[in-house]
Amino acid sequence: MGSWKMRDIVLTAIFSALSGAIYLGWDLLFKAVPIVNPVASAAFNGLWWIAGGIVPFIVRRPGAALLAESVGGFMEFALGSPYGVQAFTIGIAQGLGIELGFLIGRYRRYGPAWMILSCALGGIGNYVYSYFYYGVRQYSVGNQVGYLVVTMISGAVLAGVLSWLVARALLRAGVLNNFAIVREGRAEALN
């Protein structure tokens, strides 16, 4: 664990901005799903914090998930998300959730299991925010519990597993040699 280098910050910004574009696409694609069932729609939530998974996995700095999700959410908002400025604020909430996972690992553990755990915790951030701002508190208790559980699983898969796979592909491509993922933990990353 060390302090942020310039390249870590720029990489965070670029990856998050790209993720912001994905988030916007996801907004438009999957907002129609709650017409069927809000618990079912929660299954798509996880992709909205993939930046919070992949960026910390590569740069391994405290606050990486929070910064990545803030920038990603801001980009989603600035590109014209139908959620308006809330695309940004929920990003912060999700980032804090993921950060909690890495904090428990004392910013030293970044293996696939921790990626999955942290990204599942990002789902708690999403739940808390949605509870207050997106009407989740008005659902029946069963729907609320369902929403939370499905959101966390979705985070574990769509943010956790997916970003681990992407980072692994980048690792094989040999472009990450100057980042913490290689310098501080190659063995762990490959397991």
- Compute the least distance from the CB of residue 173 to another protein, in Å: 4
Residues 166, 51 contacting (CB under 8 angstroms):
no
Considering only residues 116 through 135, tell me which ones interact with another protein, judged by CB under 8 A: 132-135
- Compute the least distance from the CB of residue 71 to another protein, in Å: 6
Asked if 25 is part of the footprint of another protein (rule: CB under 8 A), the reply reads no
Q: By rule CB under 8 A, what string of x and - marks binding of each residue 70-89 to another protein? A: -x---x-xx-x-xxxxxxxx
**CA dist., res. 138 & res. 161, Å (int):** 31
Give the torsion sign (CA, 139, 137, 81, 101): negative
Token pair 């190659």: residue = 186
Asked if 191 is part of the footprint of another protein (rule: CB under 8 A), the reply reads no
**CA dist., res. 35 & res. 175, Å (int):** 43
Residues 127, 147 contacting (CB under 8 angstroms):
yes
Half-sphere exposure of 26 (CA within 13 A, CB side): 22
Asked if 178 is part of the footprint of another protein (rule: CB under 8 A), the reply reads yes
Q: By rule CB under 8 A, what string of x and - marks binding of each residue 140-169 to another protein? A: xx-x------------------x--xx--x
Distance of CA 53 to the CA centre of its chain: 5
User: Of residues 26, 38, 73, 110, which one binds another protein by CB under 8 A?
Assistant: 38
For residues 88 and 102, which CB has a smaller minimum distance to another protein in the complex? 88
**CA dist., res. 152 & res. 101, Å (int):** 13
- Applying CB under 8 A, the residues found at the interface with another protein are 4-7, 9-18, 21, 31-32, 34-35, 37-38, 58, 67, 71, 75, 77-78, 80, 82-89, 132-135, 138-141, 143, 162, 165-166, 169-170, 172-179
